[in-house]
Amino acid sequence: MTDFDNTTKSYWIQTPLRPQLVAVYTIIACLAVLGNGMVITVMLLRRRVFRSFTNRLILHQSVIDCVTGVVFFVWRVVLQIIQKPVFFEGNIIYAQLICRFITVDFFVWCMNVTSTYNLVIISLERFMATCHPVKHRNTWTSVKLKFAMGTAWAIGFIYGSQFVFMFEVNEGYCRPAQLETGFKVFHALAGITFEYLVPVIILIYTYSRIIITLTKKSANPMNGARNTTNKAKKNVLVTTMLIGIMFVLCWTPTEVLAVYIQLSDDWKTPLYDIFTSLVACNMLVNPVIYCFKYEKFRSELSKLVLERCRRNRVEDGNTISMSAASSRMNTNRMHVGESS
């Protein structure tokens, strides 16, 4: 966090990041990159298996979370370790850029919101596929899927642009912008509504409707021949629902804290580091869910690992055979020389 009460007239230096936080942030970022990187690798190598719209959105989710892990590490570890002077003299443009884009976790929150709305798109796609299958087949195309993915990025960066105006250079120091109480209340309510309440409401509505629809279909004896298909759909549903539940668990404390900070101006609360770390954990839990709950992904991952192990054994066997053959050739040559 930033010490806004320091009024030295030479340089204002960020409070050094505690080693414990450096370790926690580094672990979170590494797990996010490695876990989502594994998901990306499996889905790209098994592109034919994971070619459905849902799986392509899940792949997109992993790409977003992997990038978010890198951005989180750069903003929370690298830029914090590099002691940035925030007392600015002379170049006001440079001062504004550092204050509004670097001091604030601008890109971190842009990526977080992008990840959130990609989850929303996944839930809407599952809702259409389950509750309105005919309309889903007729309307969902690759072009519209790409447009939906782009929309998630656009929403994230448009929403994140508000953070540029939350801080300003005041008397040479980067400080929270002075806002009237009414605007603070409006900003806090608008933030929690768009960032949290809207996604949660959509997730609850779509998954509730999906569960009701699948329950009715399973209760109909005429659908007995579709049990295998319904089982696969239910597995995807359970996977995506768990992702939505983890989003709620990881984001709720931060949203409550955000309202408190906006209304109290207590920007130095240590809970900010704790709760935003919890939000960051949301980007690393999805690969864990895929490994434990998504049967298709777990199956393809196992096949890739087994294929790799078999390939290594074959290569090792070939190496031994070549060595043995070489030694035999040398032995034969010696015998020939002795006979001559």
Q: What is the CATH number of the domain that holds 69?
A: 1.20.1070.10
Question: Average pLDDT of the chain?
Answer: 79
Judge whether 321 lies within some domain.
no
Whether residue 329 is contained in a domain is answered as no
Within a domain: 62: yes
Residue 326 has pLDDT above 60, yes or no: no
Q: Examine residue 318 and state whether it is found in any structural domain, yes or no.
A: no
Contact predicate 19/278, CB 8 Å: no
Question: Alpha helix (H) ranges present in the chain?
Answer: 19-45, 53-73, 79-81, 92-97, 106-131, 133-139, 142-160, 181-192, 198-219, 227-264, 271-293, 295-339
Residue 9 pLDDT level (bands cut at 50, 70, 90): very low
With CA atoms as reference, report the closest residue to 101 among 71, 131, 124: 71
Residue 131 lies inside a defined structural domain of this protein: yes
Range of the domain at 176: 19-309
Q: How many domains does the chain have?
A: 1
Cut 0.85: pTM above it: no
User: Is residue 332 included in any domain, yes or no?
Assistant: no
Report CA-CA distances (Å) from 325 to 312, 321, 329, 339. Answer: 20, 6, 6, 21
pLDDT band at 44 (very low <50, low <70, confident <90, very high): very high
Q: What is the pLDDT of residues 84-139, one digit of tens each?
A: 555 556 667 777 777 777 777 788 889 999 999 999 999 999 999 889 999 998 88
Q: State which of 28-32, 179-183, 295-299 shows the largest mean pLDDT.
A: 28-32
Q: Is residue 86 part of a domain?
A: yes
Residue with tokens 């590490």: 73
pLDDT of residue 334: 46
pLDDT tier for residue 339 given thresholds of 50, 70 and 90: very low
